[in-house]
């Protein structure tokens, strides 16, 4: 019990658990026949018609599914290194909320604006980038945070530009995750670093909720039109 408590207090526990779950799910995919779309669909890939039919879990499950070793390796690196940063700054439970809700935000935007079936933790990974940019905007006067923010902002922009010129990339999922993580950073706050103005937190919450509702409505409308 003491060992578990020490691990929870001194290690990025949520990051490690999320990465462990993601790898475990990938092993299940591999055993079932990695790469087959039927496998991804049965495990919960983002499928607009299925979501519109009531399978809401498909807004969550895609972030734990990956199409091949390269896909999970790239996302796994981001989960580990960005996850450690965000968990150290926001704390365990805020990190979990940013990852899951940010990933859902990405899948909601993809549901609204892309008809393609998709999988991948990239929506949640971009949410981590977004949450870091929140810190950069809120605590810009800190020179260390300012330097790190500039680096992560450049990395985020490069990733989005790469998405634009790549086939098979769900760019709307990435944008939705980024924006969702940015807004969630304000909503949840960063007590380990400092206070965020209450007005910013209220505005971010309102924008996030209205955005979700508007995109869900758009997604249902588009899904019904394509049936």
Just list the catalytic residues. Answer: 122, 174
Question: Whole-angstrom Cα distance, residue 206 to residue 93?
Answer: 21
DSSP result, 154-184:
HHHHHHHHHHHT-TT--HHHHHHHHHHHHHH
Question: Whole-angstrom Cα distance, residue 94 to residue 59?
Answer: 19
Say if residues 66 and 21 touch (Cβ distance below 8 Å).
no
Question: Whole-angstrom Cα distance, residue 37 to residue 40?
Answer: 5
Helices (H) and strands (E) in the chain, counts: 10, 0
Coil/strand/helix, residue 3? helix
Per-residue HEC secondary structure of 35-71 comes to: CCHHHHHHHCCECHHHHHCCCHHHHCHHHHCCCCHHH
Any idea what DSSP says for residue 11? S
34 contacts: CB under 8 Å, gap ≥ 6: 26, 68
Which tokens in the block code for residue 8?
């929870």
């Amino acid at each position: 019990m003491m060992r578990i408590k020490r691990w929870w207090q001194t290690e990025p526990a949520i990051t490690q658990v999320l990465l462990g779950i993601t790898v475990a799910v990938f092993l299940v995919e591999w055993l079932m026949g990695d790469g087959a779309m039927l496998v991804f669909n049965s495990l919960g890939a983002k499928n607009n018609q299925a979501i519109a039919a009531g399978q809401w879990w498909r807004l969550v499950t895609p972030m734990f599914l990956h199409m091949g070793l390269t896909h999970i390796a790239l996302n796994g690196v981001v989960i580990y290194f960005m996850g450690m940063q965000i968990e150290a700054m926001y704390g365990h439970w805020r990190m979990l909320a940013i990852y899951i809700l940010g990933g859902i935000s990405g899948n909601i935007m993809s549901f609204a604006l892309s008809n393609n079936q998709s999988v991948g933790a990239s929506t949640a990974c971009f949410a981590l980038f977004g949450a870091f940019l929140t810190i950069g905007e809120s605590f810009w006067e800190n020179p260390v945070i300012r330097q790190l923010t500039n680096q992560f902002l450049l990395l985020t922009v490069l990733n989005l530009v790469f998405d634009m010129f790549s086939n098979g990339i769900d760019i709307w999922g990435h944008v939705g995750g980024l924006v969702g993580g940015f807004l969630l950073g304000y909503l949840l706050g960063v007590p380990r670093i400092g206070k965020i103005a209450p007005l910013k937190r209220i505005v971010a919450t309102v924008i996030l909720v209205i955005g979700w509702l508007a995109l869900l409505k758009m997604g249902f409308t588009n899904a019904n039109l394509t049936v």
